[in-house]
Amino acid sequence: MVTSDTESGDDREPRPTEMDAALLRRIRAALTPYDPDSYTLEHAWQDPPAWWFVEVSPSRADAAAFSAAFDSWDLVSISIGKNTWFEVYGVKDEDDLAYIEQLASAVFGGDLEEVPGNPKDVGAGFARITLADGSVVSAGAAHLPVPWKWHEHIHYVPYAETR
């Protein structure tokens, strides 16, 4: 389901900005290899915090969820998996969204390992995301610098086999 300009009661939600729409396009592009039955995509206004969110929920329970929204004019707030939250700064135009698309592609492809942290502490998790070029992105909450294998972690699976 995709919504972009809905009404709730007498209050009318603002239309998505060009960058909100561009973020949605980039996330849709990252989903292209997957059957539409393998996920639910929603573009929805949430108030608070008064942002347009692109939210992707996988059909498979062992695949990772993905949510992204512009927090300000150049900052994208991202939540992945069970409890990992991080921000990407310096997103000033649609070309800068290529990095967000790479992150989303990795998450949808199952190239994500997460230590979810305390579930009562929202955003306490941290993760390793392996991009298509083989580089690894560490994201999420600060944590002790101990070897990854010492942490109990979740290795997510792809949304589906690619078409």
**CA pair distance 36, 59, nearest whole angstrom:** 10
- pTM for this one? 0.87
Q: Are 128 and 148 in contact (CB under 8 A)?
A: yes
pLDDT digits (tens, 9 = 90+) for 24-35: 999 999 999 999
Name 1's Cβ contacts closer than 8 Å, sequence gap at least 6: 40, 41, 42
pLDDT higher for 158 or 4? 158
pLDDT digits (tens, 9 = 90+) for 90-141: 999 999 999 999 999 999 999 999 998 888 887 888 999 999 999 999 998 8
Structure tokens at 160: 């589906």
Task: For the chain, give every domain's residue range.
Answer: 7-155
**CA pair distance 3, 142, nearest whole angstrom:** 34
**CA pair distance 39, 35, nearest whole angstrom:** 8
